[in-house]
Copies of this chain bind each other. A is one copy, B any other.
Amino acid sequence: MSEAIEVNSSPATLNKKELARQKSQAQILDAAETLFASHGYDGASMNAIATEAKVPKANVLYYFKSKDNLYEAVLERILSNWNLGLIDISVDDDPALSLYRYIHLKVRLACEQPQQSRLFATEVIRGAPYLADYIRQNTRPWFRKKVAVLQAWIDAGKITQVDPSHLLFMIWSSTQYYADYQTEILILQNKLEYEESDIEAITRSTAQLILGGLGLKLPESI
């Protein structure tokens, strides 16, 4: 991924120009995220994004030199947002509790920010043209560390013997599913939208199945 649009973060220079720039950029990024997520890269036109952001199209191209560039900026914002709330698991942690927390976090993210998850999904489905490098250089090392942690838990007899990679994939899939397939899920359950109680119910059921499969019980103190 090439360089992002620079975001001037020095709080000292809070003149009107900086304010306008940040406001416009945020508006544009929000609009782009919405439209890229719902219509895909090609389905979201610069015109539609500009209209949604309530700025002229030429203004969008003034801040983000090209559509590619804008798309990259949206992806980067999503990834940095995801990394912020990331919960880590490590060898000495209690498996049941830390896995439960990780699942809870992922479910909440999926239900509360489904757009971001969906945009990520469409990017990967297309073959990850923009994210392949990121995954190789950032996600893979992280993934391998977590696999090692899970393997250590298995070796210590803390959880049932199971392929750690597939365990991680199962956690990712079963949580992300509620974002990506939201439309189908809501139709099947005859609902209009997720409620706060759904997040808890989904977390509980998902954690129950996965932890159960690992020979663990749901942690009592939540």
Contact = CB atoms under 8 A, between A and B. Distances in A.
Contacts of A170: 170, 174, 177, 205-206, 209
A118 B127 CA distance: 11
Interface residues of A, number: 56
A143 interface: yes
A59 interface: no
A136 B112 CA distance: 24
A188 B190 CA distance: 37
Contact of A122 (B122, B160, B205): B122
Interface stretch (A9-17, A39-47, A77-85): A39-47
A163 interface: yes
A215 B212 contact: yes
Contacts of A43: 40-43, 126
Nearest to A143: B188
Contacts of A126: 38-40, 43
A214 B163 CA distance: 18
Report, nearest first, the 8 A-B pairs whose CB atoms are least far apart: A173-B177, A209-B213, A212-B213, A166-B205, A42-B43, A42-B42, A40-B40, A213-B213
15 contacts: A39-B42, A40-B40, A43-B43, A122-B122, A128-B184, A135-B188, A136-B187, A139-B188, A143-B188, A163-B201, A166-B202, A170-B205, A208-B213, A210-B213, A212-B215
Given A165-B189, A212-B213, 17 more contacts: A38-B126, A42-B43, A121-B121, A122-B125, A124-B180, A125-B181, A135-B184, A140-B188, A166-B206, A166-B209, A169-B185, A170-B170, A170-B205, A208-B213, A209-B209, A209-B214, A210-B213
